Homo-oligomer: A and B are copies of this chain.
Amino acid sequence: MAHAGAPSSSPHVQEKRRRRRAEILHSALRAFRDKGYHATTLDDIVGRLGVRRTALYHYFPDKEAILYACHHEALAEVAGLLDEAKSRFDSPKERLGYVIREHVRVMTDTLEGSPLAFEVPALAAEHQAQIIAARDRYEQGLRDIIAQGIAQGEFRSVDPKIAVFAIMGAINWIARWYRPEGSVHAPALGAQFADHLVGGLTCE
Contact = CB atoms under 8 A, between A and B. Distances in A.
Nearest to A117: B176
Contact of A173 (B163, B172, B199): B172
A192 interface: yes
Given A118-B118, A173-B173, A196 B166 contact: yes
A187 interface: no
A200 B118 CA distance: 25
A162 B192 contact: yes
Interface stretch (A23-31, A32-40, A42-50, A67-75): A32-40
A196 B189 contact: no
Contact of A159 (B167, B170, B192, B198): B192
A195 to B, nearest CB: 7
A170 B170 CA distance: 5
A107 to B, nearest CB: 11
Interface string A166-204: 111111111011000000100011001101111111101
28 contacts: A36-B122, A38-B39, A39-B121, A39-B122, A115-B118, A156-B195, A158-B196, A159-B192, A161-B184, A162-B192, A162-B193, A165-B170, A165-B174, A166-B173, A166-B192, A168-B173, A169-B170, A169-B172, A170-B170, A172-B173, A173-B173, A195-B200, A196-B197, A196-B200, A198-B200, A199-B199, A199-B201, A202-B204
Interface of A: 34-36, 38-39, 115, 117-118, 121-122, 156, 158-159, 161-163, 165-174, 176-177, 184, 188-189, 192-193, 195-202, 204
